[in-house]
Amino acid sequence: MNDSLLALLKKVDTPTVCNAIEVAQGKRGFDAFTRGTMLASAPGEAMVGYARTARIRAVTPPGEASDVIRARRMGYYEYMASGPRPGIAVVQDLDVPNAIGAYWGEVNTNIHKAFGLSGALTDGVMRDLGDLPDGFPVVAGSIGPSHGFVHVIDFDQPVQVHGMTVAPDALVHADRHGAVVIPDDVVAGLETAVAQLFASENIVLDAVKGQQIDFAQFEGIWAAFEKSRT
């Protein structure tokens, strides 16, 4: 991903990225996106980056020895501090749909931001909404007050977040609408696809926003719109 594409993806929302993937692929049917409603700590911010993946639990305490747990925790942090940038922490909570452990609070978000990550995507819980650092959005499955017995199960493995499979180092875009995995085969043409998408949509939007039109006018506008997409 070059700097120009990165700057563009930071500016657009996730629905735009989903539509642009279809433009780049020349068809509908792409389905590597989240299902259901997610919550955003910073609704106006989008995040984009390569996935650093992990799985956690929190409902019950871990049954392993404390030194094993600590070693895995520190291995997790070392993993999150490494890898391609920009990066996003993508963490599956294995307690879903009964997740209680707010892994993403003031402490952990600041740690991961200091590692150079651009945000966090999880189907689990976030908290401390007034104290999360600027420039590190969290898109989560729920909000809750407690961290429970939260602990890392594993990392650097494929995860599932709200129906979306995310492999380590996959390119992910997320915002208040949810998240999408950007296929490798469209990255090179994604800027062009976004520009084509905007040009096509503007045929309709420029003609109808703040205007009053009749059906005959609409037919002409829609014909031009459909022609622009072929």
pLDDT of residue 78 exceeding 70: yes
pLDDT at 227: 82
Element housing 142 (H / E) = strand 142-143
pLDDT at 1: 84
- Concatenating the DSSP letter of every residue in 33-93 gives B--S--EESSTT--EEEEEEEEEEE-SS---S-HHHHHHHHHHHHHHHTSSSSSEEEEEEE
pLDDT of residue 218 exceeding 60: yes
Residue 2 to residue 175: CA distance in whole angstroms: 21
**Length, in residues, of the chain:** 230
Indicate the average pLDDT of the chain: 95
pLDDT of residue 230 exceeding 60: no
Using one digit for the tens of pLDDT, what is the confidence trace for 189-208? 999 999 999 999 999 999 89
CB hemisphere CA count around 83 (13 angstroms): 26
Element housing 104 (H / E) = strand 102-104
The most distant pair of C-alpha atoms in the chain lies apart, rounded to whole Å, by: 73
pLDDT of residue 47 exceeding 70: yes
pLDDT at 165: 98
Using one digit for the tens of pLDDT, what is the confidence trace for 139-182? 999 999 999 999 999 999 999 999 999 999 999 999 999 999 99
Confidence of residue 45 (pLDDT cuts 50, 70, 90): very high
Give per-residue burial for 133-148: e unless 16+ CB within 10 Å, then b. Answer: eeebbbbbbbebeebb
Average pLDDT over residues 56-79: 95
What architecture does CATH give domain 31-182?
3-Layer(bba) Sandwich (3.50)
Q: Where are the domain boundaries for CATH 3.50.30.40 in the chain? A: 31-182
Residue type present at position 210 = G
Higher pLDDT, 63 or 76: 76
pLDDT at 8: 95
pLDDT at 106: 97
What phi, psi does 165 have (nearest 5°)?
-85, 130
Using one digit for the tens of pLDDT, what is the confidence trace for 88-126? 999 999 999 999 999 999 999 999 999 999 999 999 999
